[in-house]
Each structure stands twice: as C-alpha cells, then as structure tokens.
Structure 1
Amino acid sequence: MQNILVIKHGALGDVILAQSPFQAIRQQHPDAKITLLTTKPFAGFLEKSGLFDDIWIDDKPKLWNFKRLATLRKKLRSGEFDRVYDLQTSQRTNTYFNLFAAGKKPEWCGYAKAGSHPHLSPMRTKIHTIERHVDQLGVIGVTDIPAADFSWAMTDISKFSLPSEIALLVPGGSAHRPEKRWPASRFGELACHLQNNGLTAVLLGGPAEADAIAEIRQLCPDAMDLSSQTSFGDIASLGAKAKLAIGNDTGPLHLISAVGCPTIVLFSKASNPDMSRPRGADVRVLREDNLADLPLQAVIDQLEITS
C-alpha cells in the first residue's frame, strides 16, 4: 500500500480552492493511505471530507527552532511516504523536502527544485490558484481534476431559525488588511436595500468584524447577526440556502461560492482577482482601487434579487 502525504496549511480560501486537487489525489490513489498535513483551524473540517486516512497538525515551527524542527523531521520520516503532494508550495514547505533523509526522499510534487517532479513553470505565479494546482498535478501525471464537491460539509442550520429568503453579507477580511474591506456603512445600506426587496441580510464574521456588524445593524436592525456562531460547515449550508452573497475578498466567500451561491466579491487593489478570486457557478467581481470609492449603486446593479 502506498503512503501519500498532502501538504496544505491554509488560509481558508486556499483550502477551499484545494478541494478539487484533494479529490483528484484520492481518485489517483484509491487504495493508498493518504495523510494530510495542515494547520489546526482546518483539521476537523477536512477530516469530514473522507478523503484522508489521517490528518497531522503542523504548528509551523520557526525554522531556527532546531528542537521543534527536529520533532517535525522525525514525524515526517516516520510516515515512510512514497509520494508528497505539496499544495502549499511556500518557502516553508519547500524546506520540508530537506527534512527527509538523503536516499530516502519520497517522490515530490511541489516547488522544491531538487524534488522528483518540480513545478517550475514561469506562469505559476501569474495564474489563478486553481489553474496552478492543475498545472502542478499534471507534472506528476494527475490529470483528471473533478469539480469541487462540498456535499460532505453540510450541517443542520435549522438551529438558526432563518427566514425563507436570505442573502449573506460578509463584511470582514484580514484584520491587518483594512484596505480589503468595503465600508460597513455601505453594507448597512445594502442590507436595507435587500430588506426592502424581500431578502433578510444574514451577517457572517468573527470577533474581528464585531464593530462592522454593529454598525450594519444600526442601519438595518432587521439584519440577522450570526457572527461567531457558524462553523465552516454552517457557512457551506448557509451558502446552499441563500439567494445570493456579497462580501469582501475573504475566506468564507470562497466556501459560499463553491457550493453554488450566486456571489459578488469586492476587490481593492490589495489583491488580484485573476489570481485568487472565489470560484463557483456564478461569481461576479467588482474592483475599485480604494473600496471606499465603490458606490452602493454599483453593487445594487449587480444584484439579481428574487422576491
């Protein structure tokens, strides 16, 4: 039996975009033992996919912390892996190639130049993450990449007592990247517009979005606040139910769009939709260098509201 290691740390959007490659790898190795090396926030979620026989947590030790790095090296070597799919392809995970003993290195599909199947295409930093994964896997002969399936992620969302017609608003984004956020006041005005057209705005986020969500609900008290109440599975299920979703370039929107929800994503100059936009059946992008300059009407013009 083959032992396979797949490496994917995160963040959430990247994990969602890796679902098709995860499925392709399992399809390529139906009888193998496949271990996923990931970070703690995604372990429980990805375990439910059924694609992995084991999940290891990488706490990403500092590369100068030789004691913890030695522990990781011992663990990696203990897996006796025949092949590694490095879907993270970061500077960190490139160094993991060197943690395997000389003469006992597994086949390596990643960016490590000394690996057996390096992905060295000059286009790898110029194309969308999905196409990069497809191109990378093709180097090692994995060419059948199925559509992403998140049916396994669905949860029972009856606990939220949702109205029948909802739209998801995702006003958050990286806490250290405020330039990636459309102003909360605009989301509040949008929530009112949705309410006037028969859709209840459901607000998603975490503690970092508390102030923005409070401002939105001041403007639209009928909006439902589900911040800090939803698991990844709940977000997928909400996406499957919602009529549409609007939000910033942030992880949850990747999951929402991936389950088929019509999605409008707001990009600033801080990120490039050609490289990292969410994928799904109906994903539209609005981009403004400074999102504060993106008018409400531009978003309203994109809406297809079903009353």
Structure 2
Amino acid sequence: MADRSATVGERILVVGPSWVGDMVMAQSALMTLKMRDPRCRISVVAPPWSRPILERMNAIDEVVPLDVGHGEVAWQTRYRTAVTLKGRFDRAIVLPRSWKAALVPFLARIPHRVGFTGEQRVILLNERRDLDKSVLDQTVKRFVSLALPDDEARRGDFDIPHPRLEIDSDNLINLRLSLGLSSRPAVGMMPGAEYGPAKQWPLGYFRELACALVESGHEVRVLGGPKDVEAGDAICRDVPHSHNLCGKTRLADAVDLLADCHQVVTNDSGLMHVAAAVGSRVHAIYGSSSPAYTPPLTERATIHYLALSCSPCFQRTCPLGHTNCLNQLRPAQVLEAMTSSVTP
C-alpha cells in the first residue's frame, strides 16, 4: 500500500468569515498555509453565498457550505455539517471570534482546533490564542497569524500575501455583450457599504465624478447588490455611458467586471477588497472606518482619508451629525488622483 503521507499533507478545515471583504482577506491565510505546505489539503466552511468567491481562490481544495443566517445558532444544521466532516481533518482554524463559529470543528471532533480566545470558547477550542491588537492591528494579520505557529504569530513580523482572485474571461465576454457595455476604458463605482451611512460617500459626489469621467471618455459601471439599486439609479440617471449594474449581476460576475475596470472608486466595503484582489487600481474612500485596520491589499491603491480629529469613530452613523469625514472630501480631489494615476 502506498504511503498516503508521501502525497498528501495535513488536512486542514478553515472556518471562514461571514462578510465579503473578510472572505477575500481570508485568502491571505489560505495562501500562507499552501506556501508552508504545498501538499496540505484545505477545506473551507462558509456561507453558500461565498462559494463564487472561494471558487476563484486556487489555494482551496473544497468548499463546505454552511447554510445558516448571520448570527444564527442553527444547532441541527451545524451538527449535520459536522457529521459529514468527522475523521477527515487533522486541524481546524476558526477565523471568526464567535463561539458559534467554533461549533462545527468541535462537533466534528477535529483533534487540533485553533482560534482566538473569546466568547467562552474554552471547551470548543483546544489551542486558544490571546489577541494582541497592538501587534495584530489589521484583520488580515489576525487571519494569517492563525495559520502560523503561535511563537511566530506573536512576533507579528510575518509576510502577508495579497489575495488574488482568478478571472473567467469567457464570462466577462458574455457580460460585456449581455449588458451592452462599450469599449471605452471602464471605471467601477461601488457606492454601497453594508455597515452604514458613516462609510458611504455622498451619492451626489459619485454622480458628479461619474459625469466628469464620462466627459473625459470613460464608461462608468456602478456595482452592488439589490439594496444598492436606488443608489445606482441616483448616480447613473441621465448620464450617458454609465451603467447601473446593482442587483443585475452575480458575485462571480462582479469579480470579472471589476477586473475589466482600469480604476474603481469605492467606499470601504466588501467589493473594495474584491477590486483589490483582481488587480484594479483602487481609490478607496474612508469615513468612519480606518485604512490602517482594513486597507485594500494591493500596491495599486490610493487612500482617500481626511483623518479628522473625530476620525475614525467606527460608528454606523455620524455621532456628531455632520459626517464631515466624507462630506469634506470633494469629487475634484478624487478626480485629480484618478487623472494622475498610472493605468495599465
């Protein structure tokens, strides 16, 4: 009988996060695992919506869908999933810090279960790490640290590979035809931010910028989910060569459409991280959040952040009622940065 260990390395189950941007950043941890042990086999437990993103990551061998709502316990669903995983893994890495996220690896009796201390996970995890926020000051650093030995993770001087999502060229061609897109150089706009209005640049500013870009020969593509349809309409109404694609495309389509954009203008959102991972030049707008904590992971990014005395507050709505951190960032400033950016 052939020696299995000669062909297959450690079998690792990763419990993924529940947000688009976090899922993209999680790829840095998956890439780290593969670079450390190219023979390892990585499976990711994740919400079904994230499959189109995970399938574009070449470090993943298997996606295990866990169909539970955000914050739901859903004991039976988690138990049924755990039963299918018993005996298949050597180690589990739990990226989220909630106790619910650690349930599946515990119920599956995976022998080595690692994650950060929090939410009374004493029994659920058997390697619990303290989170030193002064060392692990970014979300992506925290994810990558869990893929490393604890002593190395504590130093905080490890490399962080940038996420890279694969592109489906055939799908992009079909999208260009079916959506009536032109051959003009495309600029993507993402006006949404799930967290709240304190992270959303004014729609009037997006529209003003769109008009200027179209006048200079660009095509504008506004991307987002069904909740962003009205925002897309507000930006694109009566603006030629602009397309409101919010709610009209799948998540996998957004990956390909953003890869086709020379530049993108985006709030601090999940699609910002997608744009970074497909190589677009990113103009990232920060209001209540901080570019030090969740930066776009690319060398091709321009950060637009006023760093007011009240920033970052990390609130969903401005506690002072003025949202100056966004309102005082004028479209002309962003346009100037885009004009001076080097495009491919």
CA contact (8 A) 1:167 1:201 kept: yes
Residues 161-220 of structure 1, C-alpha deviations (whole Å, 9 max, x = no match) = 33231111111121x612221121111110011112222211111221111111112252
CA contact (8 A) 2:213 2:219 kept: yes
Cross-structure match for 1:237: 256
- 1:178 & 1:158 partners in 2: Cα distance? 34
Structure 1 residue 106: Cα displacement: 1.8
CA RMSD for the aligned pairs? 3.0
Alignment of structure 1 residues 1-307 onto 2, 5 Å: 2-60=10-68, 66-76=75-85, 78-96=86-104, 98-99=106-107, 101=109, 105-112=110-117, 114=122, 115-123=125-133, 127-139=137-149, 146-151=161-166, 156-159=171-174, 160=176, 161-174=181-194, 177-218=196-237, 220-269=239-288, 271-287=289-305, 290=323, 291-304=326-339
Distance 1:11 1:286, change over 3 A: same
- 1:126 & 1:27 partners in 2: Cα distance? 21
CA contact (8 A) 2:198 2:287 kept: yes
SS at match of 1:252: helix
Distance 1:69 1:234, change over 3 A: closer
Residues 252-304 of structure 1, C-alpha deviations (whole Å, 9 max, x = no match) = 111112222111111111x2221112211221222355223432223223223
Which ranges in structure 2 are unaligned for 5 or more consecutive residues? 1-7, 312-322
Residues 44-77 of structure 1, C-alpha deviations (whole Å, 9 max, x = no match) = 431343433332112337776554454345345x
Which ranges in structure 1 are unaligned for 5 or more consecutive residues? none
SS at match of 1:109: strand
SS at match of 2:338: coil
What is the percent sequence identity of the aligned residues?
23
Amino acid at match of 1:158: I
Distance 1:87 1:168, change over 3 A: same
- 1:124 & 1:236 partners in 2: Cα distance? 33
**TM-score, normalised with respect to structure 1:** 0.84
Structure 1 residue 116: Cα displacement: 4.5
- 1:91 & 1:302 partners in 2: Cα distance? 43
- 1:163 & 1:34 partners in 2: Cα distance? 39
CA contact (8 A) 1:260 1:281 kept: no
Greater mean deviation of Cα atoms: 278-287 or 57-66: 57-66
- 2:75 & 2:16 partners in 1: Cα distance? 22
Distance 1:97 1:168, change over 3 A: same
- 1:255 & 1:64 partners in 2: Cα distance? 28
Structure 1 residue 148: Cα displacement: 2.7
Distance 1:48 1:272, change over 3 A: closer
Q: Paired residues, what number?
A: 301
Residues 73-118 of structure 1, C-alpha deviations (whole Å, 9 max, x = no match) = 5345x244210122223342245554355xxx52123114754543
- 1:243 & 1:12 partners in 2: Cα distance? 22
